[in-house]
Structure 1
């Protein structure tokens, strides 16, 4: 039995090894998001029903017809490839440990998502909501808010990533509307809680792993995400993402051109009292080629209190989680994952 400690408790899985079962990828549902733009509530409710089924039974789904321009996605991947091709010395100028709000570059092994592992084999560049250093929330000590940082040697890096971030914010608001309908709430239920969402974006580079691979040192170890949901773009056709199903089997989640992979995070699992599954996943790049991905972690406002929604609690399903603010939860998870962050919080 393998154990992974997440922010929502210990998770077990029986499967060992690095191989994922290659099945027809429709086992991870594909959802056509186009009807969410319809003026007919029946069309939007149909999307919500499909989304609910995916979130209850899988925790992952592919999102098609999302209205994010492909050129925005392509430009961001292009910028990421140029950035990670620069020298380590240049990238380390913006090492994330130098940041006061978790922004900048993370080298190989900087992150360790699985506390039982030896570090994750990927490089990262992190950004989030760009807030001035003199903003009241920043001055009040919210260590995850503040300004982004950008490499001075790459003036063409900031624009594509910022545009992508803005597109994700808009898409995420539409996804929240679908979640509200899926949970039988008013369509704008979550709107007051995502005015200044604690949402972060990463561009990631995974070098290929070849030869004998240590199961405790892979691209990114088994984990669940911290925020409400994640919108992931996978570059090219390199397979690496694996999702743990209800049987304890690792299922391959290959890229589908034009579709995002969306998965439930711990915050939404807490809100829904685990009706929506925050599913364990990992990434192992054994393709022999470089892999790039862009995860966008969509959270709620940091002051939001996460507590199970009343319509997700009853006599058979008592509340599983004590109330906690979004900031307390995410900062606590960061302290578990990043050694430098734990030192800053101490």
Structure 2
């Protein structure tokens, strides 16, 4: 079911038996997930059933968008909500607990969230962090390519949620109520080549993700690096057709730090543009995140107070994005 990565630290897991409902497959997979979550927090998924044409079309859509003139992209610039275009220089990861990041990331991004109609009840009610996607003009098929990929990745994430919950030592449906309307974001990214003279400049500075788990389709060029607990940086296995998956901050909270998220960064030393299409899967905005009972004991009391996920997202947005520095927190 699994193979180690080139260095033995990041496993390649075949999840096809679990998705097919083979008896005992989920429990066996959960054991492997638990082991890697207690180590690097990174794994590679094979046998996931996602049509390879879906990430390929999404990568193509990303390249087509970023090739647009700057004035077209800037017309779609993010506002109060992080939906749309984020130009280079607009994000500094100030909330990182593993590095003091002072310089903006060397990338430009385009954020896509759950697609809604203007008369969607959540839009009309003005719910926090709910807004309309900002679609670029003149790119036929962009919306379909990105949203088809978005929908497929959300479905895969939901199928893996019981595995993650089992890995925590809880019944497989224990966390289901926190993910009935999950916070999902597809971020298209184009990384510029890094200047050799700036050793402290990154495509994406060292950080941890702040959702539950992240899915990353394999990019054509290398760049992602993972920091081990010993402080070494390594690259996940680059196997075409697989997904790199990493744990994030909310899983660290649910697990009472048993599954602490692993720092990672992007170093684009390719002398060429590098594209990435990470899919972020997080709890409902109104979910209250607290350590699960299996990860709390008299000898290991809860390390976190209950946290409303909406409050968590609001703090991150205000702190890390330049366009929010002059706006009130809503």
Specify if TM > 0.5. Answer: yes
The aligned counterpart of 1:16 is: none
The aligned counterpart of 1:113 is: 93
The structural deviation recorded for 1:53 is 0.7
Q: For residues 141-169 of structure 1, what are the alpha-carbon distances to aligned partners after superposition, in whole Å with 9 as ceiling and x for unaligned?
A: 43311221101121321110000000011
1:251 to 234, 237, 245: 234
1:179 to 164, 167, 172: 164
| Secondary structure class of the residue paired with 2:171 | coil
2:53 to 55, 71, 87: 71
1:279 aligns with 2:259: no
Contact in 1 for aligned 2:218/2:241 (Cα 8 Å)? no
1:155 aligns with 2:140: yes
Distance 1:32 1:161, change over 3 A: same
Distance, in Å, in 1 between the alignment partners of 2:273 and 2:94 is 22
Distance, in Å, in 1 between the alignment partners of 2:106 and 2:193 is 9
Distance, in Å, in 2 between the alignment partners of 1:213 and 1:158 is 36
Matches within 5 A, 1:1-346: 24-97=6-79, 100-114=80-94, 116-215=101-200, 217-236=201-220, 238-253=221-236, 255-346=238-329
The structural deviation recorded for 1:290 is 1.6
| Secondary structure class of the residue paired with 2:57 | helix
| Secondary structure class of the residue paired with 1:277 | coil
Contact in 1 for aligned 2:123/2:130 (Cα 8 Å)? yes
Contact in 1 for aligned 2:6/2:237 (Cα 8 Å)? no
Q: For residues 164-223 of structure 1, what are the alpha-carbon distances to aligned partners after superposition, in whole Å with 9 as ceiling and x for unaligned?
A: 0000110000110111111222222222221211111101001112431241x2101111
The structural deviation recorded for 1:136 is 4.5
The structural deviation recorded for 1:333 is 1.3
| Secondary structure class of the residue paired with 1:124 | strand
Q: For residues 289-308 of structure 1, what are the alpha-carbon distances to aligned partners after superposition, in whole Å with 9 as ceiling and x for unaligned?
A: 22101111100111000011
Q: For residues 89-111 of structure 1, what are the alpha-carbon distances to aligned partners after superposition, in whole Å with 9 as ceiling and x for unaligned?
A: 111110113xx421101111111
The aligned counterpart of 2:98 is: none
Distance, in Å, in 1 between the alignment partners of 2:195 and 2:265 is 17
Q: For residues 2-44 of structure 1, what are the alpha-carbon distances to aligned partners after superposition, in whole Å with 9 as ceiling and x for unaligned?
A: xxxxxxxxxxxxxxxxxxxxx9254212111112123333111
The structural deviation recorded for 1:139 is 4.7
Distance, in Å, in 1 between the alignment partners of 2:89 and 2:218 is 21
Distance, in Å, in 2 between the alignment partners of 1:345 and 1:233 is 35
Structure 1: gaps (5+ residues): 1-22
Structure 2: gaps (5+ residues): 96-100
TM-score normalized by the length of structure 1: 0.88
After superposition, the CA RMSD in angstroms is 1.7
Number of aligned residue pairs: 320
Contact in 2 for aligned 1:234/1:292 (Cα 8 Å)? no
Distance, in Å, in 1 between the alignment partners of 2:237 and 2:274 is 12
Contact in 1 for aligned 2:10/2:237 (Cα 8 Å)? no
Distance, in Å, in 2 between the alignment partners of 1:178 and 1:311 is 15
| Secondary structure class of the residue paired with 2:226 | strand
